[in-house]
Amino acid sequence: MTLIIAMDGPSGSGKSSAAKGVARRLGYRYLDTGAMYRAITWWMLEQGVDVEDAAAVAARTGEVRIEMSTDPDAPGISVDGRDVSGPIRGQAVTGAVSAVSRVPEVRAFLVAAQREIMADGGIVAEGRDIGTVVAPDAPVKVFLTASEEARALRRAREIADPAVSVEATLADQARRDRLDSTRTASPLTKADDAVEIDSTELGLDEVVDAVVRLVKERAATG
């Protein structure tokens, strides 16, 4: 079985943990496309590019060299040979990533890279537009949601910085959700054929179980 599993949803929906869990369970690879948008944003900031200037971002996009590890037990990402797994989670990148990811040239560049990585199948890819744009033919598509409060709590726990309150996380998340859902290039939307899973009341294992069940059903029906 070498399926492509598309997992989309807003930030804090538990996508990353669930996608990694599914990949481990099935012996699949794992692709975090959000990390790629973050890496390109990190590079733009490092280069002093004004991230609000879409033309400037577009002009430099082709220069970025991103390398991904697709091992769910050791996911990693480097830019120009430098491991940026830590810096891409920082506040500077988080604050700028929506502006960079709405630039069509950035999306075209990363979507091409993602399709190349996914070409052999046997992979769980998570993001915002996997089921709609990157892999519209993926046989299994999941749209993971959770209440705003549950998502902000998870994010705050991930950030694990006492200086950043849950309220601030909630506000930043609402801002990014709005930007990600209203942009013209590939906004966050549920694919018509995606199965929606609300993880508000579910533990990680229950979400993973639900997705693995879908994969098995899909495999059984061809």
Stretch that binds ligand DC, among 44-52, 61-69, 124-132, 167-175 (CB under 6 A): 124-132
Beta bridge partners of 78: 67, 83
The residue within the footprint of ligand DC, chosen from 3, 34, 189, 190 (CB under 6 A), is 34
Residue 94 and residue 51 in contact, taking contact as beta carbons nearer than 8 Å:
no
CB of 134 to ligand DC, least distance (A): 7
Nearer to ligand DC, 180 or 207 (CB): 180
Q: What is the CA radius of gyration of the chain?
A: 17
Give the residue among 138, 134, 97 at the shortest CA–CA distance from 121. 138
Residue from 13, 98, 145, 199 in contact with ligand DC (CB under 6 A) = 98
C-beta of 60 vs 89, nearer to ligand DC: 89
Residue choice 4, 172, 180, 211 for contact with ligand DC (CB under 6 A): 180
Compute the 3-state secondary structure of the chain and give helix, strand, coil in percent, each to the nearest 5.
55, 15, 30
Residue 127 interacts with ligand DC (CB under 6 A): yes or no: yes
Laid out side by side, the sheet with 76-79 consists of: 66-69, 76-79, 82-83
Q: Which one, 114 or 202, has the nearer CB to ligand DC?
A: 114
Residues 141-170 that bind ligand DC (CB under 6 A): none
Binding segment (CB under 6 A) for ligand DC, from list 76-84, 123-131, 136-144, 200-208: 123-131
Q: At what angle do helices 91-101 and 33-46 cross, to 10 degrees?
A: 100
Question: Under the criterion CB under 6 A, does residue 33 sit at the interface with ligand DC?
Answer: yes
Cα separation, 169 vs 167, in Å, equals 5
Residue whose pair of structure tokens reads 């990363």 in the numeric block? 110
- Return the closest-CA partner of residue 115 out of 215, 1, 211, 33: 33
In the 8-state DSSP scheme, what is residue 134?
I
Stretch that binds ligand DC, among 30-38, 78-86, 137-145, 191-199 (CB under 6 A): 30-38
Selected from 5, 97, 99, 156, the binder of ligand DC by CB under 6 A is 97
Q: Does 37 bind ligand DC (CB under 6 A)?
A: yes
CB of 32 to ligand DC, least distance (A): 7
Distance CA 143, CA 128 (A): 9
Residues near ligand DC, by CB under 6 A: 11, 33-34, 37-38, 97-98, 101, 127-129, 176, 180
